[in-house]
Structure 1
Amino acid sequence: MTDDSVLLCTDDNGVRTLTLNRPRRKNAINSTLWTALRDALDAAGNDRGVRALVITGAGGAFCSGADISAPDGGHPTYKMRMLTDVALLLHELPIPTIAKVSGVAVGAGWNLALGCDLVVATPQSRFSQIFTRRGLSLDLGGSWLLPKLVGLQQAKRLALLAETIDAEQARALNLVTWVVPEPDIDAFVASLGERLVAGASIALAQTKALLNEGADRTLRDALANEARAQAVNFATADAPEAFAAFVEKRDPDFTGLWSATAAGKSTANSERG
């Protein structure tokens, strides 16, 4: 994508960064940006070279929500269909996702961050479920995400009062994973991305899916899903590689390659040892 795009895309050693690029509007998402974001998430999920995804914003803000200042004239049904696509693509991406939040993250912008697996913010970050102040209700998955992350009562507080909270309050509510000083956030997120890229991609994907699905399943369902996922993991080259690296006292080199025979040998060795 070009520098004048509403969504910038950069790759660095397996980490893809998507930067919302409408700084004059604090990266409010208009129809063009919704489309670009949907397409970029779809592309990331289908690119084997992408092992982790970072979403951030340009110009000192993460995202001020959906841009309601410039209606596109389309029926709201189509707009909400686009938001649904973005929320589901982000939630179901088979790679770990990180929201790098500087400045404001409000409305759909905050829910975009909450849809990521990990959220890194700065002390200057501010958050709000601003919808009711705009005569609207939650969207981009907020009605599902908030109760799961903070419980029903706190979710109602955030949604009904549309309060603005700071990064430390958000972390106390389990809505932010880390609060990092502004000068350090780039290096922190880069290091975090490197750690995720170094992990076993198939195992990470299976683990992410299990955690996402487990929130709505019985223990019996969760155990069945865990057994299915582990069978997939044992059929990759990563499981025997991890065992060999442990024995040889070195870091593993995970590739995610399918290698059922090698996995079987490793399992046999593990059971004997």
Structure 2
Amino acid sequence: MSGQEAASPVLLTRDGAIATIRLNRPAEGNAINLPTARALLDAVIQCDSDPAIRCVVLAANGKLFCGGGDVGAFAEAGEGISAALSELAGTLHMAVTRLMRMAKPLVCVVQGAAAGAGFGLAISGDIVLCGESASFTPAYGGVGLTPDGGLSWLLPRLVGLRRAQELILLNQRIDATAAAACGIVTRCVPDAELEAEAGKVAQKLASLSTSAIAGAKALLLEGATSALEVQLERETRSIAAAGATPHGREGIAAFVARRKPDFG
């Protein structure tokens, strides 16, 4: 790793059609300060806008995935803490929005602790894999703050309002096994196998129809709060549009010909 890479709070690398965004403040538990939030947003914009990227992996260097906001930086803000938090959360949220709404799948890879905003980031993926040593903690109540990073939107949709209230209001820590059991993560794998398993999942997603995945992602995000008839109309428009895309035509032709589709 070069000195420039070591100094960067977020790293962006490419391996064919797969891009990996990696939080890179291991000595600080990958805590999110404003430079980190800005670097994350920049990396996400690059992934979102590059049509050659077919899958994005969000990971982190070090023992922790992300310990949340940089509380030391909050303390240094002094009387300007409100403005500082507004700028930090606003920048982070632009990154979260793009991560969740980009027209390509997102795989989150969680090792060690994910707390505060790191909890929200960790569960923002379409597929979320965690190691056996992973844990998830809201953490906000312990420092007198309220959720950010999308946690108050994501968690109730994954585990239900009652369980989300218990976790956030009582600041409960949940381990990897329990997180998998209640649907916070897709699945838990042995720590030593985490990166390899994430690579397999990313390769599989990158081989599929990106346009179909984009449409399905949009429907799933909208469906949780939509009336039935509204969602049925969205499904009608989405599948009709999908059928007219090159991927839709290739998929149908491949099925009829009894061959494997080529969505490259």
Structure 2 residue 68 is matched with structure 1 residue 59:
no
1:27 maps to 30
1:207 maps to 216
State the alpha-carbon separation in 1 of the partners of residues 258 and 209 from structure 2: 17
Shift of 1:219: 0.9
Structure 2 residue 245 is matched with structure 1 residue 236:
yes
Structure 2 residue 6 is matched with structure 1 residue 6:
no
Structure 2 residue 135 is matched with structure 1 residue 126:
yes
Shift of 1:93: 1.4
The residue type equivalent to 1:19 in the other structure is R
Shift of 1:203: 0.7
Shift of 1:87: 2.2
TM-score, structure 2 normalization: 0.92
1:91 maps to 100
2:226 maps to 217
2:122 maps to 113
**1:94-140 CA-partner distances (Å, limit 9, x unpaired):** 11101100111111001001111111001111110111011111111
**1:209-240 CA-partner distances (Å, limit 9, x unpaired):** 00001111111111111111112211112222
State the alpha-carbon separation in 1 of the partners of residues 231 and 256 from structure 2: 31
2:183 maps to 174
Moved over 4 A (4+): none
Question: What is the aligned length?
Answer: 255
1:267 maps to none
Long gaps (5+) in structure 1: 256-273
Shift of 1:18: 0.6
Structure 2 residue 195 is matched with structure 1 residue 195:
no
CA RMSD of aligned residues (A): 1.5
**1:140-184 CA-partner distances (Å, limit 9, x unpaired):** 111111111111110011001111111011111110101111111
**Secondary structure at the counterpart of residue 91 of structure 2:** helix
State the alpha-carbon separation in 2 of the partners of residues 152 and 230 from structure 1: 31
Which of the two has higher C-alpha Rg?
1
- Residue number among 90, 97, 116 corresponding to 1:81 in the alignment: 90
Asked whether the 8 Å contact 2:22–2:60 carries over to 1, the reply is yes
The residue type equivalent to 2:117 in the other structure is A
2:41 maps to 38
92-101 or 70-79, which deviates more: 70-79
TM-score, structure 1 normalization: 0.89
**Secondary structure at the counterpart of residue 132 of structure 2:** coil
1:157 maps to 166
**Secondary structure at the counterpart of residue 66 of structure 2:** coil
1:270 maps to none
- Residue number among 149, 161, 165 corresponding to 1:140 in the alignment: 149
Shift of 1:83: 2.6
Shift of 1:84: 2.4
Shift of 1:196: 0.5
Long gaps (5+) in structure 2: none
State the alpha-carbon separation in 2 of the partners of residues 20 and 243 from structure 1: 40
Shift of 1:79: 2.2
State the alpha-carbon separation in 1 of the partners of residues 242 and 182 from structure 2: 33
Shift of 1:65: 0.6
